[in-house]
Amino acid sequence: MTPETSIHSSADLSLAQQATELIDARIDDLAGPKSLSLKVLASDLGTTATHLQKAFTRVVGISPWDYGAERRAQAFRAHLKSEPRVTDAIYAAGYGSASRVYEQSGFLLGMSPASYARFGQGAEITFAIVDSPLGRLMVGATAVGICSLAFGDDDGSLTADLKSEFRSAGRISHDEVGLRPVLEDVVEHLETGKLPSKRLTLDVQGTAFQRRVWQALLAIPAGGVLSYAELGLEMGMEAGQRAVAKGCATNKVSLLIPCHRIVRSDGGLGGYRWGVKRKQRLLAMETTQNGAEER
């Protein structure tokens, strides 16, 4: 038993295991009008919907519905690589119709189903790099939104990292003119703390749990910090520190998804993908900006 699960009661662990097995066996029922609801799942397991929801989330870290959606997305991605037609993969994975998966494709994949079937080929990413108070700042974006926001010391390394991170993209090209409005908003947000405009939409890929971690990060106010353990508690995970840390580490969009607001339990800064000195400076800037707003 891992440290993350050791404090859970045997009853919760058993119930969560039974629920995951039942969901795995009924993936096809998760689509359309025959959706496997929490109430039906709880009834089949001999418990209440409320108890199942709480126990499952405590142990697994996400809700039964999110778990089912992620399992179906995994099946879809697997079928896309083996089925000759996208529509065959859609129905093989348990989606009730082609429209449902295309509506959810950004949520599940971050790119269209046909593009994912070609291992991301066809996805076009533009990027630009500008000066900022924290050094060189790079924004990478698809037609949907920002997929990467990184800080660095030199343009060559930032560009190489982007191409490595998105090596399956069909095209990665420099476009400072096209991204100028986005760059201006990002830099203004960094310098003043002003909330980004609506044009700063995100196009990020992640599992249901990773998305849940990112949503929790977005709820931390500027000028505030939490430890991994505290963030886990906010998510209803009493012992999810390691899982939460991994979720934070997968974040590709610095600043806008504020993983810099997570510190060590002893108050130390901890690590930061884009440099601890940048993290320290960023937190100091946010504290100053927050204080100015309150005066």
124-192 homologous superfamily: Methylated DNA-protein cysteine methyltransferase domain (3.30.160.70)
Q: What is the pLDDT of residue 262?
A: 93
254 Cα distance to chain centroid: 12
Token pair in block for residue 145: 């939104």
The reply to whether the predicted model has a pTM over 0.85 is no
Angle at 68 between CA 67 and CA 71, to 5 degrees: 85
Cα angle: 167, vertex 201, 158; to 5 degrees? 35
The third-level CATH classification (topology) of the domain covering 208-289 is Arc Repressor Mutant, subunit A (1.10.10)
Query: Could you tell me the CATH superfamily of domain 10-117?
Result: Homeodomain-like (1.10.10.60)
Residues in the chain: 295
* pLDDT, position 145: 82
Q: Domain spans of the chain?
A: 10-117, 124-192, 208-289
Question: Residue 155 belongs to what H/E stretch?
Answer: helix 155-165
Question: What beta strand segments (E) does the chain contain?
Answer: 124-132, 135-141, 146-152, 171-174, 226-227, 262-263
Please calculate the CA angle 34-37-41 and round it to the nearest 5 degrees: 110
Residue 117 is predicted with a pLDDT of 42
3-state percent helix, strand, coil for the chain, nearest multiple of 5: 55, 10, 35
Per-residue pLDDT of the chain (295 residues; tens, 9 = 90+): 333 334 456 788 889 889 988 887 876 554 443 456 788 888 999 999 889 988 888 877 778 877 777 676 666 555 555 544 544 544 454 444 444 444 444 334 444 444 444 444 557 899 999 999 999 999 999 887 888 999 999 999 999 999 998 888 889 999 999 999 999 999 999 998 877 655 577 887 777 778 788 888 888 888 889 998 888 888 777 666 788 888 888 889 999 889 999 999 888 888 899 999 999 999 999 998 876 555 5
Cα(112)–Cα(121) distance, integer angstroms:
10
Q: Does residue 172 come out as left (phi exceeding 0), alpha (psi in the -120 to 50 range) or beta?
A: beta
Examine domains 10-117 and 208-289 and report if their fold is the same.
yes
Tell me, what DSSP letter sits at residue 201?
-
Which pLDDT belongs to residue 160? 96
**Position of tokens 């990413």?**
125
> Helices 98-108 and 64-80 sit at what angle, rounded to 10 degrees?
100
Catalytically annotated residues: 259
Q: What CA–CA distance (Å, rounded) separates 240 from 229?
A: 7
With b for 16 or more beta-carbon neighbours within 10 A and e for fewer, the 116-125 pattern comes to bbeebebbeb
CA 117-122-127 angle, 5° bins: 130
